[in-house]
Copies of this chain bind each other. A is one copy, B any other.
Amino acid sequence: MSSNLHFGNLSVSIFGESHGNGIGVVIDGLPGGCEIDFDRILDFMARRAPKKDGISTRRNEKDFPEIMSGYLNGKTTGTPLCAVIKNTDQHSKDYGNIETVARPGHADYTGSVRYNNANDIRGGGHFSGRITAPLVFAGAVCGQILEQKGIYSGAHILSIGNIYDNKFDSVNVTKEDLETVKTKDFPLINSAVEQEMKDKVKAASDKLDSIGGRIECAVTGLPAGIGSPMFDGLENRISQAVFGVPAVKGIEFGVGFDFADMCGSEANDCFTTDGKTIKTVTNNNGGILGGISSGMPVIFTAAIKPTPSIAQPQQTVDYVKMENTVLEIKGRHDACIVPRAVPVIEAAANIAVLSFLI
């Protein structure tokens, strides 16, 4: 198996290759009768689509999802919901010369070994970032159901290169905060750094290079008591889902790796009550204690590696001829995929969180 998330009563099964007939997803286990606004799904998916801003690839993806099943009269039917996105704009020739030359940082070689050299490698095949479109579709559906339960999620660019956005206020972040940042073309809390970030990407692009970054995601409104200890908690499911997004190489909850340098007296989130509800004064733990939600915002950060596809000449190997060679990647590629990855990370979180509630 590979592309099947199996969380309790929810299953999300993604399929497709970059240059095959179509890509898509089957979501099995949704409750029946949940209202889903199709236009809002398209809006969510548009956040991932290539931008005209000089940062994202110019490839004109017509990622229109056709719903095959599971959706009727604006509502989930409760039976498996399948959406298919036809592939229409494949420029296979662009990739012609790299058929068996491993692109460094990509899964060409590992995929070839894994699949007995039989996998479709055109455009990255099943490993292509394009496969995140159906993941975003699924996350958009799950997100609308979460909203109906008073749960809201949102992600933003936390850093590109070493240029940083502000962090979410881990104690007080509101759904309005999430909504505001999500709807921006370039999702930053502090848009004052936007130009600096874009310059950083432009500079990398000009050098035929690429650049990585960080994405922070928050989920508000999740009541306390959701998740389980050990292997089936919020951290386990969210990380399993988020590592499903190509280019993610790290994840941390709350202050994450900063915990390593802290003392307990700084790190511990003290509890406080007004007699009715319990909160923590700080939220270093990112809303999760023992795998279970504390009622505070769930916060995590993912590390996104720089786009491996760069136009500079790179030393590599033809893994069929078993010869060293030099590769210059042609084609159209984002110099920084962080902006487009923002809704993908959010989608993965939506799926993981909703899975605990159905």
Q: For A194, what are the chain B residues with a Cβ–Cβ distance below 8 Å? A: none
Known contacts A253-B250, A303-B257, A317-B272; is-contact A310 B228 (Cβ 8 Å)? no
The answer on a CB contact under 8 Å between A262 and B314 is no
Q: How far is the CB of A332 from chain B (nearest CB, A)?
A: 15
Q: For A281, what are the chain B residues with a Cβ–Cβ distance below 8 Å? A: 315
Q: Is there a chain B Cβ closer than 8 Å to A240's Cβ?
A: yes
The answer on a CB contact under 8 Å between B33 and A118 is yes
Which positions 231-278 of chain A face chain B at CB distance < 8 Å? 231-233, 235-237, 239-241, 243-244, 246, 248-265, 267-273, 275-276, 278
Stretch at the interface among A54-62, A166-174, A183-191, A208-216: A208-216
The answer on a CB contact under 8 Å between B80 and A126 is yes
Q: For A219, what are the chain B residues with a Cβ–Cβ distance below 8 Å? A: none
Q: For A4, what are the chain B residues with a Cβ–Cβ distance below 8 Å? A: 4, 6, 11, 13, 26, 28, 80, 231-232
Q: Which residue of B lies closest to A336 (CB)?
A: B264
Q: For A210, what are the chain B residues with a Cβ–Cβ distance below 8 Å? A: 263-265
Q: Which of A11, A69, A213 has the most CB of B within 10 A?
A: A69
The answer on a CB contact under 8 Å between A212 and B262 is yes
0/1 per residue, A264-296, Cβ < 8 Å to B? 110111111101101011000110111111100
26 A-B contacts (beta carbon < 8 Å): A1-B232, A2-B228, A2-B231, A14-B80, A15-B26, A15-B82, A20-B69, A21-B69, A22-B82, A33-B116, A77-B125, A106-B289, A110-B290, A110-B293, A114-B225, A209-B265, A212-B260, A212-B262, A236-B239, A249-B285, A249-B286, A251-B252, A252-B252, A256-B303, A270-B315, A272-B315
Q: How far is the CB of A24 from chain B (nearest CB, A)?
A: 7
Copy number in this complex? 4
Q: For A260, what are the chain B residues with a Cβ–Cβ distance below 8 Å? A: 159, 161, 212-214, 303-305
Q: Is there a chain B Cβ closer than 8 Å to A322's Cβ?
A: yes
Q: How far is the CB of A229 from chain B (nearest CB, A)?
A: 5
The answer on a CB contact under 8 Å between B269 and A105 is yes
Distance A16 CA – B231 CA, assembled complex (angstroms): 14
Q: Which of A81, A212, A259, A264 has the most CB of B within 10 A?
A: A264
Which positions 53-99 of chain A face chain B at CB distance < 8 Å? 66-70, 72, 75-82, 84
The answer on a CB contact under 8 Å between A308 and B82 is no
Q: From the candidates B116, B263, B286, name the one contacting A32 in the complex (CB within 8 A).
A: B116
Q: From the candidates B9, B68, B115, B272, name the one contacting A9 in the complex (CB within 8 A).
A: B9
Q: From the candidates B126, B268, B310, name the one contacting A104 in the complex (CB within 8 A).
A: B268
Q: Is there a chain B Cβ closer than 8 Å to A10's Cβ?
A: yes
Known contacts A3-B80, A106-B289, A271-B316; is-contact A33 B243 (Cβ 8 Å)? no
Q: For A244, what are the chain B residues with a Cβ–Cβ distance below 8 Å? A: 230-231, 233, 236
